[in-house]
Structure 1
């Protein structure tokens, strides 16, 4: 008769892992994690590191953006660079990722938009800390957003879509200011987690200008198929854009009430029980 205990002790919470990417109910082998879970952790860590260091395929992204068709999109995309010359500099000097290179700044000024009448919205795509998050999710999100802008009763005039290599969130302030945009939205690869190396975030700022802080921005994060879908994110962003333009604010004073209608329609919310 074999009385040996199983090497791995299962955890009853394990069945919940079918509904989340979080590491729960991993079980144990003695006082340690099972080998399969340790290997899965190391793989996820490697993928997160790769997401940070993998360069963005800017040629492919520019081609995909150029292929987008919408009545509100009247200009082709523009490619720019930050003052961070390489990836290591970008990671070690966040301040350089917040500024355009002198050549890129001059190129943006040559477009001549600073002296024109203001445009409603500037869209900026930056690689950030996850090139895969941008590569997979930026174009689907922009496509959904353009559909929302077309369907909106109010007219939206857009500046050219700008792609920035080695860019941080705050670089959108300078770009939006140079393009004479009332509002800027920055789409950027988010810091990868062990279960989400391909997440995209976006930051909305009204009245962009150099020197603003994060208190003046609104953020929507975890945009990816396994998180907040492109369609849901574009609807939430559209709500914020309308409210930002109506109130001429962004950041802390601008509250995201896009989900209030769900509660008002009588759909049960366990928080209200």
Structure 2
């Protein structure tokens, strides 16, 4: 009896443990008696802390602006009606509107690439420039502008496109952080953007991070959406890409 009881204190592995090599999901954690192993609990707490830090991370505006200027394209800078990170989390509606004093000259671009912090600014700080370095050389036939926006949501691109003038927007934004992906970048594309555009008229490329979609693959898919949007004069649910990037009706 005593031997049987003492066995409950041993760390018990999970028969699915080999699946952990295929995913960052919290599977096959094992158990110690009726509880999770201490290492798994501590790992969860660590990832939760990284996630909280991601939400409160800030854009490295000065650094990003210098990097954007290296592309030798027009660069704009805006801020939304949000004043700080706490307000950003509480008032998503204000993250969709530019501050009252926002001014910009008309540019009449084919494409505006708009970088904004979203819910994980470090995703922009670390991955937005590499993605632009990958995609911009492939778009020489388009007139392109670049834009950096603090405290923005996806829909901020619609107002910016109307103010500056652009046929197409690609919003690079920090996605809602997950426990295994606190620095995930997303890209939302819209053809003929304007205030009031609803989400079914956008295409999304998500989970661009070190354990997800690579910058190279994201660039390939983004180029597909750009070229097809201009060819068909639309974006959103009517424009889809399968694994081979062929159009699906």
**TM-score, normalization by structure 2:** 0.92
CA separation in 1, counterparts of 2:137 and 2:51?
A: 32
CA separation in 1, counterparts of 2:243 and 2:21?
A: 29
Determine whether 1:179 maps to 2:179. no
The correspondence for 2:227, drawn from 207, 222, 242, is 242
The equivalent of 2:130 in structure 1 is 140
- Per-residue Cα deviation, 1:75-131 (whole angstroms, up to 9, x for no partner): 2x2221000111111110000000000112xx22xx233xxxx42101100000001
The correspondence for 2:91, drawn from 93, 98, 107, is 93
The CA RMSD over aligned residues, in Å, is: 1.6
CA separation in 2, counterparts of 1:25 and 1:132?
A: 30
The correspondence for 1:126, drawn from 91, 113, 116, is 116
CA separation in 1, counterparts of 2:109 and 2:243?
A: 25
Match of 1:12, SS state, is coil
The correspondence for 1:112, drawn from 90, 95, 106, is 106
CA separation in 2, counterparts of 1:103 and 1:258?
A: 44
CA separation in 2, counterparts of 1:15 and 1:148?
A: 41
Determine whether 1:32 maps to 2:35. yes
Match of 1:179, SS state, is helix
Determine whether 1:199 maps to 2:184. yes
Determine whether 1:255 maps to 2:226. no
CA separation in 2, counterparts of 1:225 and 1:173?
A: 29
- Per-residue Cα deviation, 1:9-32 (whole angstroms, up to 9, x for no partner): 111222221222111110011121
1:65-84 → structure 2 map (5 Å cutoff): 65-68=68-71, 74-75=73-74, 77-84=75-82
The correspondence for 1:210, drawn from 192, 195, 200, is 195
Contact persistence 1:126–1:134 (CA under 8 A) = yes
The structure where strand makes up a greater share of residues is 2
**TM-score, normalization by structure 1:** 0.85
Contact persistence 1:148–1:234 (CA under 8 A) = no
Match of 1:31, SS state, is coil
Determine whether 1:13 maps to 2:5. no
Match of 2:101, SS state, is helix
The correspondence for 2:54, drawn from 47, 51, 57, is 51
Unaligned runs of 5+ in 1: 262-273
- Per-residue Cα deviation, 1:129-186 (whole angstroms, up to 9, x for no partner): 0011111110011111112224xxxx11112x11100000000011112121111110
Kindly state the Cα deviation for residue 258 of structure 1 after the two structures are TM-superposed: 5.7
Unaligned runs of 5+ in 2: none
CA separation in 2, counterparts of 1:260 and 1:174?
A: 30
Match of 2:55, SS state, is helix
